[in-house]
Amino acid sequence: MRTRVAIIGAGPAGLLLGHLLQRAGIDSVILEDCTQAHVEARIRAGVLEQGTVDLLEQAGVAARLRQQGMVHHGIELRFDGQRHHIDLSGLTGGRAITVYGQHEVVRDLIAARQACGAPLLFEVSRVALHGLDSQSPSVSFDHGGQRQVLACDFIAGCDGSHGVSRQAVRPGALQVFERTYPFAWLGILARAAPAAHELVYAGHARGFALFSMRSPEITRLYLQCRPDEDLAGWSDRRIWDELHARLETGDGWRLNEGPVLQKGITPMRSLVTEPMQHGRLFLAGDAAHIVPPTGAKGMNLAVADVRNLAHALAMHYQHGRDDLLAGYSSACLARVWRAEHFSWWMTSLLHRFDDHTPFMARLQHAELAYVCASQAASRMLAENYVGLPFAPLPA
């Protein structure tokens, strides 16, 4: 088997890269270790930046997104039982976010890939990368009971935070910057009509809570919990009671309850790998960096990376230029570190930390109050949340 670009992982990064390459006439093979059904049902992110939506639109994969995505012009910050509206669009010259599940984006991209017959192999196992420092790298893997070798020009490591790509680089060649947080999120998906039109980020003495949604019938909710939390200890009743307590307002607003369709724990981590490239291996998305989900940046960063990578590869194949491939990592890292800071800041603003002394609590409160009262501070939040504009792609 031979292809130009071997893509490991069929998450948003790998699938969108394959799609953009396909449109540029560059063939690729996508290798995914899970089943198609699993990948299409995995509930994760829900917030698309304006730039992500625009890119999916330009790439011709936004028909369902246009119909079903929910455009939000603001978010709410909630603390002390009070609501504070952040007018995202008013503060950013009309930009907005779109609430559309990551698994829906993944479904749309898989459908586009399968419609054009480009190779996308599910249920591969024992994936191994070879010859990263050579001109002719390859990927070996098991598929359909057979060991196969895929020869290629480049490998795109789009296999998420637990993938094999980053691990394939010899120790010491990549620098990893990392921070863990003393908490996680317990997330549920419930069959209940969203009780508000906007996402609600709540800072509370009992811990952070987030109200989000997936459709007019489905609510998505998160609670800050311990990192080693045992889901078995969280009955549906206990989860709803805790959500009510943390999201409660003084004006009688109430969350709608409904059957819990899914429950899970999401760990919180910040991580950046530098550089995002080694020899013929290019890392993109969660394989290269992780943000805590508070800023809703993870999937959007994955999209921003592969936009750069697809362009750099197109310049290589169409014009024999390698400068953009050489500059891929630094082009991505500027945006990555900005998003890392924003995600860390949003997390620090709203969560209860172990060292939550009265002094720290007062500082956090002062910051929240400032963000809501000052136009400069709310604009800082808004422009980062809707996503800073993409840097122009070098001609």
Q: Identify what 160 binds: ligand RFL, ligand PHB, none; CB under 5 to 8 Å per kind.
A: ligand RFL
Nearer to ligand RFL among residue 160 and residue 203 (C-beta): 160
Q: Is 335 in the site for ligand PHB (CB under 6 A)?
A: no
Long-range contact list for 90-93, CB < 8 A, 24+ apart? 91/375, 91/378, 91/379, 91/382, 91/383, 92/379, 92/382, 92/383, 92/386
Q: Is 33 in the site for ligand RFL (CB under 6 A)?
A: yes
> What distance in Å separates the CA atoms of residue 208 and residue 144, rounded to the nearest whole number?
45
Q: Is 32 in the site for ligand RFL (CB under 6 A)?
A: yes
Nearer to ligand RFL among residue 18 and residue 163 (C-beta): 163
Q: Identify what 286 binds: ligand PHB, ligand RFL, none; CB under 5 to 8 Å per kind.
A: ligand RFL
72 part of the active site: yes
248 neighbors 80 (Cβ within 8 angstroms): no
Q: Name the active-site residue from 201, 278, 289, 351.
A: 201
Q: Identify what 220 binds: ligand PHB, ligand RFL, none; CB under 5 to 8 Å per kind.
A: ligand PHB
> What distance in Å separates the CA atoms of residue 210 and residue 223, rounded to the nearest whole number?
7
The DSSP string of 279-330 is: TTEEE-GGGTEE--GGG--HHHHHHHHHHHHHHHHHHHHHH---HHHHTHHH
385 part of the active site: yes
∠ CA 94-100-103, rounded to 5°? 150
Site pattern 212..231 for ligand PHB (x: CB under 6 A): x-------x-----------
Tokens (6 digits) for 35: 């089943």
List beta partners, residue 177: 272
Site pattern 260..299 for ligand RFL (x: CB under 6 A): ------x------------------xxx-----x--xxxx
Q: Is 47 in the site for ligand PHB (CB under 6 A)?
A: yes
- # chain residues binding ligand RFL, by CB under 6 A: 36
In the chain the first and final C-alpha atoms are separated, in Å, by 33
- Choose one: 15-23, 41-49, 53-61, 281-289; the region binding ligand PHB (CB under 6 A): 41-49
Alpha helices in the chain (DSSP H): 12-23, 36-41, 50-58, 63-68, 88-91, 102-115, 165-168, 236-247, 298-319, 323-326, 328-350, 358-373, 375-386
Residue among 6, 9, 209, 242 that touches ligand RFL (CB under 6 A): 9
Site pattern 162..201 for ligand RFL (x: CB under 6 A): -xx----------------------x--------------
Q: Name the active-site residue from 19, 72, 73, 278.
A: 72
- Choose one: 43-51, 79-87, 191-199, 250-258; the region binding ligand RFL (CB under 6 A): 43-51
Q: Is 350 in the site for ligand RFL (CB under 6 A)?
A: no
Polymer length of the chain: 395
> What distance in Å separates the CA atoms of residue 366 and residue 214, rounded to the nearest whole number?
32
Report 226-255 residues binding ligand RFL (CB under 6 A): none
What minimum distance in Å lies between the beta carbon of 273 and ligand PHB? 22
32 neighbors 120 (Cβ within 8 angstroms): yes
Q: Is 307 in the site for ligand RFL (CB under 6 A)?
A: no
Nearer to ligand PHB among residue 28 and residue 212 (C-beta): 212
| Contacts of residue 299, Cβ cutoff 8 Å, sequence gap at least 6 | 12, 44, 45, 47, 48, 52, 102, 105
370 part of the active site: no
Q: Is 92 in the site for ligand PHB (CB under 6 A)?
A: no
Q: One-letter amino acid identity for 74? A: G
Residues contributing to the site for ligand RFL (CB under 6 A): 8-14, 31-34, 39, 44-47, 102, 124, 127, 158-160, 163-164, 187, 266, 285-287, 293, 296-300, 302
